[in-house]
Amino acid sequence: MPEIRMGRHTIETSNTDKIMFPDEGITKGDLIDYYKKIAGTMMKYLEGRPVSMHRFPDGITGEDFYQKEVPDYFPDWIHTVSVKVKEGGKQDQVTIENAATLIYLANQACITPHVWLSKSDHLDRPDRMIFDLDPPDDDFDAVRHGARAFRDLLDELGLQSFVMTTGSRGLHVLVPLDGKQDFDTVREFASDAARLLADRNPKRFTTESRKNKRRGRLFLDYLRNSYAQTAVPPYAARARGGAPVAAPLDWDEVGSANLSPRKYTIKNIFRRLSRKEDPWSGMMRHASSLKEPRKRLDNLVSGED
């Protein structure tokens, strides 16, 4: 089997000619090569975060599954963290601490490593807050509008926000946090911010989680802001036709007529990065507490009641 040497670690790859994306003829070897090349840009969004592995043993047209608990056969150099589970017990999950681990997971047919919003040293305190915007009836213009509306509201609250295509159907709006608030506090803030935005424009937006009650409005999804929930990290590949990737954007790119949630792929993302610095590269310099924004949000809510 071909071997890949990354630092002190050797990964024995297998079935590298297996087709993962049939329409494009992209193989598992191509996926491994992508993650090997993107690791230098991607690792800062992965390090220390428990992973839920979305695996496709027979490519995107075959059966898939999510795997959280680390298998017994994973090598002992792969870092893990013990996390609480709903049943009251604990399980060990992978954390991607180096490029070798990212490549190892790709060799396990993990197309997308979904990651926690918190790190292993403070599992109950997220350092990011996220809003997931998926289009109603594939109306991407509604997603653009929703993302910009969130940005404006977060600006009012004194919070810096960042935007990313998901590589699937919509956009993520993310706020970097200082990691001092627990999940309950962050989730309550996210819920209240989303509800305020929906109240300001009830014809366009809703916080109704049930699809049959949305009536064509954009769902302002704040529900990922909970313990053990995950989100796709920047530059992760997605199991969709074309092999798209999640791609950080500058805010002025959201209005581009050429933008789509799957515009960037494992084949063209490096051309973008050769011309443009990663738009999220300095994101954590803007990490914020929610204490003052909470006061501003309460004032806005009470003033609009």
Give residue 1's pLDDT: 56
Could you tell me the residue ranges of all domains in the chain? 1-116, 125-305
Write out the chain's pLDDT in tens, 305 residues.
589 998 899 999 999 999 999 999 999 999 999 999 999 999 999 999 999 999 999 999 999 999 999 999 999 999 999 999 877 789 999 999 999 999 999 999 999 999 999 999 999 999 999 999 988 888 999 999 999 999 999 999 999 999 999 999 999 999 999 999 999 999 999 999 999 999 999 999 999 988 888 888 999 999 999 999 999 999 999 999 999 999 999 999 999 989 999 999 999 999 999 999 999 999 999 999 999 999 999 999 998 76
Quickly count: other Cβ atoms within 10 Å of residue 244's Cβ: 26
- Report strand pairing: 218-219 vs 205-206: parallel
Give residue 305's pLDDT: 62
> For 66, how many CA atoms within 13 A lie in the half-sphere containing its CB?
9
Bridge partners, 245 (sequence order):
237
Give residue 86's pLDDT: 79
Q: Please give the class, per CATH, of domain 1-116.
A: alpha beta
> For 210, how many CA atoms within 13 A lie in the half-sphere containing its CB?
2
Q: Do the first three CATH levels of 1-116 and 125-305 match, i.e. the same topology?
A: yes
CATH of 125-305, one of 3.30.365.10, 3.10.450.40, 3.90.920.10, 3.30.420.40: 3.90.920.10
126 touches 186 (CB < 8 A): yes
Burial environment of residue 47 by CB neighbours within 10 A (0 to 12, 13 to 18, 19 or more): middle
Buried b (16+ CB within 10 A) or exposed e, 279-298: bbeebeeeebebeebbeebe
